[in-house]
Amino acid sequence: MDLKFLSIAGFCVGLFALTILVMRESILADNLVAILVQVFAVLLMLWARVTFGRRSFHVSANPTDGGLITTGPYHYIRHPIYASILYFLWAGIFSHLSLINIFLGIVVTFGSFIRIFSEEHLVTEQYPNYVEYAARTKRIIPFVL
């Protein structure tokens, strides 16, 4: 299957589930610990965007020119932007715990991982040194996952 198409499908599925969570008012945390996780997630997202530079977001997995970024948060995790989305998402879900919200969180997570695996395959084609970088960094949680 075409990885760019698959990444678009993952994006759409995740966005659909995320939209439902927003409509259910289940995305913003309502306790101190979860709020702190969400603040951390926003700061991580901003740090990653600044480190990534002027490169733009693409709906499909699309490696950008300019070389492999391995500094800033990318030194610790390969996908800090996806990580920040997932940290923010799950902090909100744990603040509004229900089976429906957990299911929607799993759908968003699944869509994100489809994009992650698609992007990693495509980035490896464009930047062969990605394999070495991937061997020394985790995808989402530093030193764990």
Does residue 141 lie within any of the structural domains?
no
Average pLDDT of 34-52?
95
What does each C-alpha distance from 21 to 8, 18, 34 come to in angstroms? Answer: 20, 5, 16
Does residue 51 lie within any of the structural domains?
yes
Encode pLDDT of 30-40 as tens digits: 999 999 999 99
Q: Count of residues for the chain? A: 145
* C-alpha 15: how far from chain center: 12
Residue 57 reports pLDDT greater than 70: no
Q: Which two tokens stand for residue 111?
A: 């869509």
Does residue 144 lie within any of the structural domains?
no
Residue 65 reports pLDDT greater than 90: no
For residue 123, the enclosing domain spans 3-55+66-136
Number of domains in the chain: 1
How many Å apart are CA 26 and CA 23, to the nearest integer? 8
